[in-house]
Chain A
Amino acid sequence: QKEVEQNSGPLSVPEGAIASLNCTYSDRGSQSFFWYRQYSGKSPELIMFIYSNGDKEDGRFTAQLNKASQYVSLLIRDSQPSDSATYLCAVRGGGADGLTFGKGTHLIIQP
C-alpha cells in the first residue's frame, strides 16, 4: 500500500514569512510529485509539479524533491492571507496507476 504522509497542521505562519510544507512517501519507485491547493469547499487545483531531484521555482512557490530521502516539500515565500488553504501532496508511482494523495496540511497565514 503506497503511503503519502503530511503533517495535518494547522501550520500558522505570519504574513510575509516563508511557509514550509513537507511530505514523505513510501514507494521508492514513485516518478511524479504534485502539490495541490484546496480552499474550503472547493476542488483541488494544481500549483506545482516536480519530477527530478532538486528545486523547481515558480513565482513565490518552490518545490523541492529528494528521492533518496523520499520527501518532497513546498516553500511559499512572502506568504499572503490568500495562501491560507489545505495543501495536498500527491505522488504517482512507477506503474500504470493513478495518484496517491496525502491527507493535506492546513496552512493559516496570519495578517
Chain B
Amino acid sequence: EAQVTQNPRYLITVTGKKLTVTCSQNMNHEYMSWYRQDPGLGLRQIYYSMNVEVTDKGDVPEGYKVSRKEKRNFPLILESPSPNQTSLYFCASSSDRGYEQYFGPGTRLTVT
C-alpha cells in the first residue's frame, strides 16, 4: 500500500529536549515536505526536499532542521523545542513538486 508514515503520532515533551519526528514514504517520490498546521494560520511549509541531499527552507524554517540522506526518509529535527512549536505536523511526498502530494497521518506535538 502506497503511504507516508510518521512517527510518533503524538508527543509531549519539555522545552529544550531535542526530538526527531520521522517520515518515510514507499512510493519512490523525489519531493518531500514538512508542514505545520495551527488554528487560524493554516498549513505552513517548514522545509522541503527535491531529492537526496537537496533541502530548502519553506515559509517557517526557524527552529527546525531536516536531512535527506535516503530517498524514502525525511526526518524533522527540533534541536531545542520551545512552546511555540506546539503544533500539528504533516509530512508529505510527491513525484514532483507540482503534482499531487500524499500526506502522512500527522504528528501532534506539545512542548511544555
Contact = CB atoms under 8 A, between A and B. Distances in A.
A43 B45 contact: no
A17 interface: no
Interface string B85-112: 0000010000001111101111000000
Interface string A42-75: 1111100100000000000000000000000000
A99 B101 contact: yes
Interface residues on B, range: 20 to 34
A97 B101 CA distance: 14
A98 B43 contact: no
Contacts of B44: 101
B33 interface: yes
A44 B103 contact: yes
Contacts of A31: 98
Contacts, number: 52
Contact of A44 (B40, B56, B59, B90): B90
A46 B43 contact: no
A38 B27 CA distance: 22
Contact of A43 (B42, B58, B98, B103): B103
A104 B101 contact: no
A42 B37 CA distance: 11
A101 B43 CA distance: 6
B12 interface: no
B43 to A, nearest CB: 4
Contacts of B59: 100
A103 B42 contact: yes
Given A45-B103, A46-B100, A46-B101, A102 B90 contact: no
Nearest to A46: B100
A98 B98 CA distance: 8
A96 B50 contact: yes
A96 B97 contact: yes
Given A42-B105, A100-B45, 5 more contacts: A43-B104, A98-B97, A99-B101, A101-B44, A103-B42
